[in-house]
Amino acid sequence: MTATTSSRPISLTRFLIEEQRDTRHINADLRLLIEVVARACKRIAISVGRGALGGVLGSAGTENVQGEVQKKLDVLSNEILLEANEWGGHLAALASEEMDDPHPIPHRYPKGEYLLVFDPLDGSSNIDVNISVGTIFSVLRCPPGVKEPDEKAFLQPGTKQVAAGYAVYGSSTMLVLTLGDGVHAFTLDREIGSFMLTQRNLRIAEDTREFAINMSNMRHWEAPMRRYIEELLAGKGGPRGTDFNMRWVASMVADVHRILTRGGIFIYPLDAKIKDKGGKLRLLYEANPMSFIVEQAGGMATDGHDRILEIVPKSLHQRVPVFLGSKNEVERATRYHREAASE
C-alpha cells in the first residue's frame, strides 16, 4: 500500500496556515498568537507531567486577588504564558486569573492588536492528586484607539471573542480550539513535540443523560436548581422517565472536555454561600471561552437566565453562574430558572 500525503496527520501549524491562507479566518498575528499559546501549553504540560519530580506540587504560599491560595503550578503556568506572549508583537495586553490587573506589554517590545485573557491552571485542587487539569484562554481585539489597555479594554461581551481554547493535561495532552468556525481538537504527539489534529468539527449531542455538578452544595441551591436536579435523580420512576448518570471532576476543563466528547450538562449554579460573589466561575477567562467553544460545537451556555456570551462584563474577575453543554438540557434548566423568576 502506498501512503499518500493526504492521509498524514495535520499539525496545528499546518492547520493554522491553511486557516489563514485558504479560509482567511485568521491573520498572521492571530496565527502567531495561537501558536505561542500552544507552545506555552506544551511547557505547562511538561511541568504538570513531571509532578513531584519537578518540585511543582503544593502551595506557593501566596493568595491571588480573589483570595484563593495559589499553588506553585498556578504561579508557574502564569509565568510561562506571560513570558511566551510578551515579546511576539501580537498582543496589546494580557490578563489572568492570577494577576490583579492587566499586564501591559513592556515598552521594549512591539505591540499588536489583540488582548489575551487566561486561566493559566484550571482545576488547581486536582494538581496534587494527579487528576486532569488545564489551561483556558480567550482572545479579544483591543478597542480601536486604545494605546495602553487597562481593565476597561477587556470588559467586552463574549460575542466579541475572536478565538478561544483550552488545553487539557490528562492521560494525553489535548488542545481544543475555536476560531469562530467550529471546534477542532489536537492531541500532543510527545515524541515529535507537535499538536496534531485529531478531530475536526466536534459536535455536542443535543440530548444527554449525564450531568456534572458539585452535589455537596445542594442544600445551598435556589429552588429551580433543586427542582432540575431532583428530577434527574428520580430517574426512571420520576418525571423525566429515564435514569441519569453523574460525573464531577472539579476541573472545568476536564468536565467540559468530556461533554464535548460524549455530551452532558455542566452546571456551577449560584448558591447561598457564593451569592455575594455572583457565582463561582469567572466570566472572562472561564465562562466566556468555554461558552464560545460549546456554542461553536452546537451546544448552549447560559447563566441560568440569559446567554453567557451576551453578558457585558463589569470587572476583570467577575463571576457568573454557568450552565453549559447539551442543548436540550441547558434549555430545560434555564427554563426552570426563568419560570421561577417570573412567578
Q: From ligand AHG, Mn ion, none, which one binds at residue 214 (CB under 5 to 8 Å depending on kind)?
A: ligand AHG
Minimum distance between the CB of residue 336 and ligand AHG, rounded to whole angstroms? Answer: 21
Residue with smaller CB distance to ligand AHG, 200 or 262? 262
CA distance 161 to 30: 12
For Mn ion, the closer CB: 69 or 341? 69
The residue among 36 and 73 lying less far from ligand AHG, judged by its C-beta, is: 73
* Least distance (Å) between residue 218 CB and Mn ion: 22
Cβ neighbours for 88, distance < 8 A, ≥ 6 positions apart: 32, 33, 36, 109, 112
Buried b (16+ CB within 10 A) or exposed e, 133-172: bbbbbbbbbbbeeeeebeeebbbbbbeebbbbbbbbbbee
Residue placing its CB nearer to ligand AHG in the complex, 16 or 167: 167
CB of 68 vs ligand AHG, minimal distance in Å = 6
Q: Which residues bind ligand AHG (CB under 6 A)?
A: 68, 97, 119, 122-125, 214, 250-252, 268, 280
Evaluate whether 242 touches 236 at the Cβ level (below 8 Å).
yes
CB of 268 to ligand AHG, least distance (A): 6
Task: Tell me if 119 contacts Mn ion by CB under 5 A.
Answer: yes
Q: What kind and span of H or E run contains 42? A: helix 28-50
Please enumerate in sequence order all residues whose Cβ is within 8 A of that of 6, keeping only pairs 6 or more positions apart, or say none: none
Q: From ligand AHG, Mn ion, none, which one binds at residue 10 (CB under 5 to 8 Å depending on kind)?
A: none
Q: Which is nearer to ligand AHG, 15 or 169 (CB)?
A: 169
How many binding residues for Mn ion (CB under 5 A)?
4
3-state secondary structure of 43: helix
Residue 42 sits at φ, ψ, to 5 deg, of -65, -40
Is residue 255 close enough to count as binding Mn ion by CB under 5 A? no
Between 122 and 329, CB nearer to ligand AHG: 122
Q: Residue 315 binds which one of ligand AHG, Mn ion, none, with CB within 5 to 8 A depending on kind?
A: none
Shortest Å distance, C-beta 84 to Mn ion: 17
Angle of CA points 282, 255, 128, to nearest 5°: 85
Q: How far is the CB of 113 from ligand AHG (least distance, A)?
A: 27
Please give the distance of CA 83 from its chain centroid, rounded to a whole number.
21
What is the 8-class DSSP label of residue 78? Answer: H
